[in-house]
Amino acid sequence: MKTILLLIVLLPFAGFLINGLGRKLLGKGYIAFNACGQILASFVLSVVVFMTVRETGGQVVNYFDFISVASLKVPFAFQVDQLSSIFLLIITGVGFLIHVYSASYMKEESNEHYGRYFSYLNLFIFSMLLLVLGANYIIMFIGWEGVGLCSYLLIGYWFRNTEYNEAANKAFIMNRIGDLGFLIAIFWILAKVGNANFTDVFASVNKFSPSEITIVTLLLFVGATGKSAQIPLYTWLPDAMAGPTPVSALIHAATMVTAGIYMVARSNALYSLSELSMNVVAIVGLATSILAATIALKQNDIKKVLAYSTVSQLGYMFLALGVGAYSTGVFHVMTHAFFKALLFLGAGSVIHAMGGEQDIRKMGGLSRLKITSITFLVGCIAIAGIPPFSGFFSKDAILLAAFEHNKILYAVALFGAMLTAYYMFRLFFLTFTGKFRGTEEQEHDLHESPPAMTIVLVILAVLSIIGGFIGIPDVIMKGGDKLTQFLAPVIPLKAEEAVSSSTEFSLMALSTGLVVVAIVFAWFRFRKYEFKPSKGLGKFLENKWYVDEFYDTVIVRPLNKLGEVLNEGLEKSGIDALVNGIGKAVQYGGRQLRWLQSGQVGSYVLLMVVSIVLFFVLQFFLRK
Amino acid sequence: MPINYYIFLSIALFVIGIIGVLTRRNAIIIFMCIELMLNAVNLMLVAFSKMHHLANVAKDASAGIDGQLFVFFIMVVAAAEVSVGLAIIVMMYRNIHSVDVNFLNRLKH
């Protein structure tokens, strides 16, 4: 087990080193083979680990002392249990598919950049694995920072474009803001418990007072809002679409953004003790999901729509965590990884076919891309939550959990689910039905993507269809919720006041019915689409609630102003003036003192005599 | 003779020496003035030594002898100084054909 876990993590790292160092020497074929091969090997080993965990349960594997100062010991250890093994499968599995897809999608890049791209991807998988396998908050934090770094590198992959670089900076800085909260929480835990091992921390929660638990969990949640793009730190994620599409699929949909969910789910022992934190998590999650869903209604960039839908779905996951349904949150992470990766890769395929066009107003009628359109439709149905697609099970479980917790949360979440169905099918209808609205040249060049890409789409589509069957609610099939049972050792089962099965069925029918209504509505609205510039509320939504502008005026510009003031006031006329002043004073003093060294022996002697006399006089007076 | 006379004479000699050093530019005269100051100190030492001896001779036959010892030391040092100083002055004269100290202001540079 020890070696296998190490290999799972180190194989992608080896891939990163080989591709990163040899990017100028290796051919594309080898680079792609190397990158995909490492991840595939990692995936196979993850399956082995998963099987072992299923039979023997979780364990902590120690490697060496990472930090050892006085009484503080931070071991470099991996914790493999039900929760992390599921994440292992998601990361390496979806990661592998996306690697394969990338190998074909990025073919037009030059050799060197191709190598760079894959080395970053591998480094990302490495960091993500470190994040989910770490047995304490410190190791988790290393991976946490690693994925932030890789996301920065990959968003700014086309580094000649200033706008993309700014998007990369934005992502990095936003993440850093969140990381600060996480870091403070870690230090707090270290100070209280003495180490940061999950097992020790969760075993000694009684060392914290209730208010401390609240503060620590809220700080952890600040970290999660940064990484998982929740209010108020979500604005980086839509901008992160500057990276290549497979990157969006891998990092900004399937894996990295779920790090926050993983962290909260991992810390469930802490969260469960603080009702306030739970409420904050639920409300922030729900607010984010509605906000992002409304923005997604009016976006015209195919990737932006998906990005906002990601933010919205992440909000759902946090809602699930916030109402105490941790395993449901993890379930949604998994199904979301499937269908969102599918949607992003489908979008990549569309963009590929359109020769780089991302504006859905200029698409339409793309159903001639058979595989892409069918798989995309599968993805849309899955995310909208129509049974028996995977999204239905996970989203319905979240809605149910919200219903049990609080009816208002449920109503708002249900509204969000309708919005989701509406904007996803708006996207689908605009892209794949109606007439083609692009240029003739584009129409002529339309082509289905190569098999390496379409096969991946098909696999993900299949997963999106069947992925939900591991979490069938009890009312439909007794003991169907295998995931929750599997996760039970890590995430204690709730002693819930189960709603009656008739209520549960009617809730399902209600949500499905509303979703279908939303889809039909979208169909009538966007079947024959004519582009009109939006106004009023539409314009407000199209401009993303002006949140970016708001942040710009409230935070960025005042900070810049403050910087300017400090630069002018403190730096130039303060510190600079002081330093220059000292120099000038010394120069001036030197000039004034120069006459003392006249070279006239007589004057030196005079000075000597005068000073001696002075000393005598002083002595004389001081005596008295 | 009261000790006061010796003190006043000695101070006068010393001040003359100082003023000479400060005001004159001829190296030899400055030199002589330095000697004058040394001798003023010698005179003072001897005078005090004698006074001290007379006052304490009953208790200690050799009282105050160290003052006179100092005088000998100062004389030796003065002699050594004269030999070195005069040699410097001779070299100075050979180089610049003058013993005016104000010509020698190159310490400045």
pLDDT digits (tens, 9 = 90+) for A406-415: 888 899 999 9
Residues of B in contact with A599 (CB under 8 A): 104-109
Share of chain B above pLDDT 90, in %: 52
Residues of A in contact with B109 (CB under 8 A): 599
- Domain membership of residue B105 (yes or no) is no
Q: Give the per-residue pLDDT at B106.
A: 63
Residues whose CB is less than 8 angstroms from the CB of residue A201 and which lie 6 or more positions away in sequence, other chains included: A137, A189, A193, A195, A269, A270
Q: Give the per-residue pLDDT at B80.
A: 94
Reported as a pLDDT band with limits 50, 70 and 90, residue A40 is very high
Q: Give the per-residue pLDDT at A529.
A: 67
Measured between alpha carbons, how far is B90 from B98 in angstroms, rounded to an integer?
10
- Containing domain of residue B47, as a range? 3-100
Ramachandran quadrant class, A536 (left: phi over 0; alpha: psi -120 to 50; beta: rest)? left
Residues of A in contact with B27 (CB under 8 A): none
Q: Give the per-residue pLDDT at B87.
A: 94
- Domain membership of residue B88 (yes or no) is yes
Place of tokens 């006041």: A497
Tell me if ipTM is over 0.95: no
Measured between alpha carbons, how far is A241 from A154 in angstroms, rounded to an integer?
10
Residue among A597, A602, A606 whose CB faces B108 most closely = A597
Q: Give the per-residue pLDDT at A496.
A: 59
Residue among A599, A600, A609 whose CB faces B18 most closely = A609
Measured between alpha carbons, how far is A165 from A19 in angstroms, rounded to an integer?
23
Are A602 and B25 an interchain contact pair (Cβ–Cβ within 8 Å)? Answer: yes
Q: Is A170 or A485 the better-scoring residue by pLDDT?
A: A170
Q: Give the per-residue pLDDT at A530.
A: 67
Residues of A in contact with B101 (CB under 8 A): 600-602
Interval A380-400 mean pLDDT? 88
**Residue A351 and residue A420 in contact, taking contact as beta carbons nearer than 8 Å:** no
CB atoms within 10 A of CB A354: 23
Residue among A602, A606, A609 whose CB faces B101 most closely = A602
**Residue A102 and residue A246 in contact, taking contact as beta carbons nearer than 8 Å:** yes
Residues of B in contact with A597 (CB under 8 A): 107-108
Residue among B18, B104, B109 whose CB faces A601 most closely = B104
Q: Give the per-residue pLDDT at A571.
A: 84
DSSP character string of A482-535: HHHHHHTTTSPPP---PPPHHHHHHHHHHHHHHHHHHHHHHHHHHSS-------
> Does the pLDDT of residue A205 top 80, yes or no?
yes
> Does the pLDDT of residue A439 top 90, yes or no?
no
Which amino acid belongs to residue B20? G
Are A602 and B22 an interchain contact pair (Cβ–Cβ within 8 Å)? Answer: yes
Residue among A599, A605, A606 whose CB faces B107 most closely = A599
Mutate one of A593, A594, A596, A601 to test the B interface: name it (highest B CB count within 10 A): A601
Q: Is A339 or A535 the better-scoring residue by pLDDT?
A: A339
Are B109 and A599 an interchain contact pair (Cβ–Cβ within 8 Å)? Answer: yes
Tokens of B12: 């006068």
Q: Give the per-residue pLDDT at A553.
A: 86
Residue B91 burial (10 A CB sphere; 0-12, 13-18, 19+): exposed
Residue A84 burial (10 A CB sphere; 0-12, 13-18, 19+): buried
Distance (Å) of CA A342 to CA A349, A456, A458, A567: 10, 8, 9, 49
Q: Specify the CATH number for the domain of residue B61.
A: 1.10.287.3510
Q: Closest-CA residue in chain A for B103?
A: A600
Split into its structural domains, chain B has a count of: 1
Interval A507-535 mean pLDDT? 81
A567 CA: distance to closest CA in chain B (Å): 43
Residues of B in contact with A598 (CB under 8 A): 105, 108
Measured CB to CB, residues of chain B less than 8 Å from chain A are 18, 21-23, 25, 101-102, 104-109
> Does the pLDDT of residue A106 top 80, yes or no?
yes
A558 CA: distance to closest CA in chain B (Å): 57
Place of tokens 């699930």: A320
Task: For chain A, give the mean pLDDT.
Answer: 87
Q: Is the peptide bond before A388 cis (omega within 30 degrees of 0)?
A: yes
Any idea what the Cα angle at residue B103 is, between residues B98 and B105, rounded to 5°?
145
Q: Give the per-residue pLDDT at A318.
A: 92
- Domain membership of residue B36 (yes or no) is yes
Measured between alpha carbons, how far is A426 from A551 in angstroms, rounded to an integer?
29
Q: Give the per-residue pLDDT at A508.
A: 86
Measured between alpha carbons, how far is A216 from A181 in angstroms, rounded to an integer?
9
Q: Closest-CA residue in chain A for B18?
A: A609
Residues of A in contact with B105 (CB under 8 A): 598-601
Across the strands, what pairs with A471? A481
A:B CB pairs within 8 Å: 29
Residues whose CB is less than 8 angstroms from the CB of residue A422 and which lie 6 or more positions away in sequence, other chains included: A297, A518, A519, A521, A522
Q: Give the per-residue pLDDT at B58.
A: 87
Low-confidence ranges of chain B (pLDDT < 70): 105-109
Q: Closest-CA residue in chain B for A607?
A: B22
Q: Is B54 or A252 the better-scoring residue by pLDDT?
A: B54
CB atoms within 10 A of CB A540: 15
Tokens of A155: 């968003």
Q: Closest-CA residue in chain A for B102?
A: A600
Are A598 and B105 an interchain contact pair (Cβ–Cβ within 8 Å)? Answer: yes
DSSP character string of A197-264: BHHHHHHTGGGS-HHHHHHHHHHHHHHHHHHTT-TTS-THHHHGGGS-HHHHHIIIIISGGGHHHHHH
Interval A604-612 mean pLDDT? 87
Residue A533 burial (10 A CB sphere; 0-12, 13-18, 19+): exposed
Are A599 and B25 an interchain contact pair (Cβ–Cβ within 8 Å)? Answer: no
Q: Is A362 or A48 the better-scoring residue by pLDDT?
A: A48
Q: Is A548 or A218 the better-scoring residue by pLDDT?
A: A218
Residue among B21, B23, B102 whose CB faces A600 most closely = B102
- Domain membership of residue B24 (yes or no) is yes
Residues A504, A508, A514, A516, Cα dihedral to 10°? -170
Q: Give the per-residue pLDDT at A538.
A: 74
Residue among B21, B23, B105 whose CB faces A599 most closely = B105
> Does the pLDDT of residue A95 top 60, yes or no?
yes
A455-477: pLDDT as tens digits: 989 999 999 988 888 888 777 77
CB atoms within 10 A of CB A556: 14
- Domain membership of residue B25 (yes or no) is yes
H-helix segments, A527-574: 537-542, 547-551, 557-565
